[in-house]
Amino acid sequence: MTEGPVVGPAKLSGNGCILRVEPRAEGWEIAFASEPRTSPQPLWFHLEAGDLAGAPVEFVWENPDICLGNPGELASLRPVLKSDHESWRRCDAVRLVEHEDGRKSLCFSHEGGANRVSAAFCFPYGPPHLEATLADTGDVWERCVIGVTTGGRPLPRLRLRGDHSESRAGLYLSARQHSGESPGSWVLDGILRFLADDSDEARQIGRLLDVWVCPFVDLDGVVEGNYGKDALPWDFNRAWEPMPMRSAVHAIMADLRRFRERTSSRLLVDLHGPGHSTPGVYVQLPRAERPELQMQGAQEFASDLADSFPELHAIACAHETNYASRWNKLATIASWAWDTLGETQAVSVETSYQRLVDEPLYPDDYRRIGRRVLRAAHAWLQRREEE
């Protein structure tokens, strides 16, 4: 091996500062760090190594201990790998290296046999993935543009095709207010695919609900590979001020007002990913400062979620929100929807980057989680319609 591999951030959702590319007795060592980009604290990475000529690679992630999540849980992380010939998969194992000065590195390997290998923190999901799903689901999802991002990209919104002559219960789904939180998109992908199914359950839910979807709130961040949590100049999920502080939020606020006018009862489900190692699926409850009725509605949704996930202890489906915030901690989509759209309930649903309980999650697992989140939303709205 005379010439080294070509290594850098991936073209789509790429992120990763390359620190070293060095030959090993067998193959290469590629050391990198997650780039914070617009966020104070990093996490997301997605890089590619080309011209490997079949050589094995050990990726050395050099800054996992300052990434968002519990640094005591680093050994439980399972980043994902993809080579020429395979789809994305979890690495089987990681090796945690504790340096003498206290820094920690996390190493994971690809066994070789490929010319190009990609590594990411979790399964990437961007506009091409959505296009593939929409191609698979025929004409079930109507698509329109509700705004243009700061970076000049059309901001899409989908709506489940159906008879809109009478208002029905409405479900508004959104993902990627924090652009690196790809589990939210895989969960949403499961919902998009499920509602296009020919099953009795899908048809029944489709008859009851008018479903609107904003798949990428921070579309620029998704495409560019930003992590996006607490993103400067203003976190997307703290930009829901009376005067919105992000152009996408401004556009979605207008869309939510249209949604309100066309629906009889409403639920917003905003899909996220938590800290790097947190397991499970759960609702991030409203803060204690928020109205009691909003808290009750969120707890009720958490209870529906717990019914849908019997393998999780019910208590684990609701997490209190009391962590520090860099922004106005009450300027979230949930506060705005409650205060501005006539006490419309919005819930933040967090899905692990890693696992529900034990087994590492794969895209199809996330899609199945999506169906179960949809069942919880359906149950919640069905009660509202019966009231």
Indicate the residue among 178 and 372 with the shorter CB distance to Zn ion. Answer: 178
Token code pair at residue 66: 């300052």
Interface region with Zn ion, contact rule CB under 5 A, candidates 19-27, 38-46, 166-174, 178-186: 178-186
Which residues, 6+ apart, have CB-to-CB distance to 271 below 8 Å?
Answer: 173, 174, 175, 176, 181, 183, 184, 185, 187, 188, 349, 351, 373
Indicate the residue among 272 and 371 with the shorter CB distance to Zn ion. Answer: 272
User: In the complex, what is the shortest distance from the CB of residue 178 to Zn ion, in angstroms, rounded to a whole number?
Assistant: 4
178 in contact with Zn ion (CB under 5 A): yes
Interface region with Zn ion, contact rule CB under 5 A, candidates 142-150, 176-184, 276-284, 352-360: 176-184
Indicate the residue among 27 and 279 with the shorter CB distance to Zn ion. Answer: 279
Interface region with Zn ion, contact rule CB under 5 A, candidates 10-18, 91-99, 132-140, 170-178: 170-178
User: In the complex, what is the shortest distance from the CB of residue 213 to Zn ion, in angstroms, rounded to a whole number?
Assistant: 17
Q: By the 8 A CB rule, do 80 and 120 touch? A: yes
Interface region with Zn ion, contact rule CB under 5 A, candidates 70-78, 110-118, 179-187, 294-302: 179-187
319 in contact with Zn ion (CB under 5 A): no
Q: Which of residues 262-281 bind Zn ion (CB under 5 A)?
A: 272
Pairing mode, strands 17-23 and 28-33: antiparallel
- CA–CA dist 259, 266 (Å, integer): 9
Indicate the residue among 62 and 181 with the shorter CB distance to Zn ion. Answer: 181
Site string for Zn ion, 119-158 (x = CB under 5 A): ----------------------------------------
User: In the complex, what is the shortest distance from the CB of residue 380 to Zn ion, in angstroms, rounded to a whole number?
Assistant: 21
Interface region with Zn ion, contact rule CB under 5 A, candidates 144-152, 158-166, 181-189, 296-304: 181-189
Point out the residue whose Cβ comes nearest to Zn ion. Answer: 272
Q: By the 8 A CB rule, do 312 and 373 touch? A: no
Indicate the residue among 181 and 218 with the shorter CB distance to Zn ion. Answer: 181
Pairing mode, strands 117-120 and 80-83: antiparallel
User: In the complex, what is the shortest distance from the CB of residue 272 to Zn ion, in angstroms, rounded to a whole number?
Assistant: 3
Name the residues that contact Zn ion, by CB under 5 A.
178, 181, 272
